[in-house]
Amino acid sequence: MKDASEENAAGMKPETLAMTLAGIGIIHSPFKEPAGMPIQPVFAEGTVGTVEVLPQYAEGLRDLEGFDRVWLIYWLHKALPGPLRVIPFRDTTERGVFATRAPCRPNAIGLSCVQLLSVSGNVLTIGGVDILDGSPVIDIKPYVPKFDAFPNSRAGWCDQSPPSARTHADNRFMK
């Protein structure tokens, strides 16, 4: 408890909280701008792209064959640094940004559960792409249903989205 209190908000040391990342690759997709891009893989059936991992990291891709899906963690490089309340694509009401998947976030980190179609050397071919072309990749993790699938989890305001809610983006969050 002492350690924790030394690191709490009041005493949080800036050096603990500044992190520098280096992209491990880049995502190639059909989408040059948000307008018309699916907002989640589930709305992106049939859209295919690739993850081009820098050659020096290719060895880390071994054993991905056999996974139907992977998590891509990436930089939302064209997202506006936004306010803490946003009107998300699937709603008409302002929501706290951490209760949405909107791309304008204090740290512009994207998270997409894409289909893994094939692995060839340092390139993953992916399906269900909801990501802008040129987005830098930060991490790739395997999708493991035992860890990640909670189909009966309640989803707050998202459970109230009408059938007519948007499935594709516009440019509202773009730089």
Residues 5-64 that bind its own copies (CB under 8 A): 7-9, 12, 16-26, 28, 32, 40-42, 52-55, 57, 59-64
For 121: left if phi > 0, alpha if psi spans -120 to 50, otherwise beta; the answer is left
Terminal Cα-to-Cα distance of the chain (whole angstroms)? 42
Least Å from the CB of residue 45 to its own copies: 13
Least Å from the CB of residue 6 to its own copies: 9
The yes or no reply on residue 167 touching its own copies (CB under 8 A) is no
Between residues 136 and 171, which has the closer beta carbon with respect to its own copies?
Answer: 136
Choose among 97, 61, 60: nearest CA to 81: 97
Between residues 71 and 170, which has the closer beta carbon with respect to its own copies?
Answer: 71
At residue 150, the 3 state secondary structure works out as coil
Least Å from the CB of residue 153 to its own copies: 4
- Token pair of 12 as six digits: 């949080």
Q: How many residues bind its own copies (CB under 8 A)?
A: 84
Q: State the binding string over 66-105 for its own copies (x if CB under 8 A, else -).
A: xxxxxx-x-x-x------xx---------xxxxxxx---x
Which residues in 100-129 contact its own copies (CB under 8 A)?
100-101, 105-107, 109, 111, 113, 122
> DSSP letter at 38?
B
Task: Give the Cα-Cα-Cα angle 75, 31, 137 (nearest 5 degrees).
Answer: 25
Find the DSSP H helices in 102-152. 145-148
Residues contacting 126, CB < 8 A, separation 6+: 48, 49, 50, 51, 70, 72, 114, 115, 116, 117
Which residues in 142-161 contact its own copies (CB under 8 A)?
142-159
Between residues 58 and 172, which has the closer beta carbon with respect to its own copies?
Answer: 58
Least Å from the CB of residue 120 to its own copies: 14
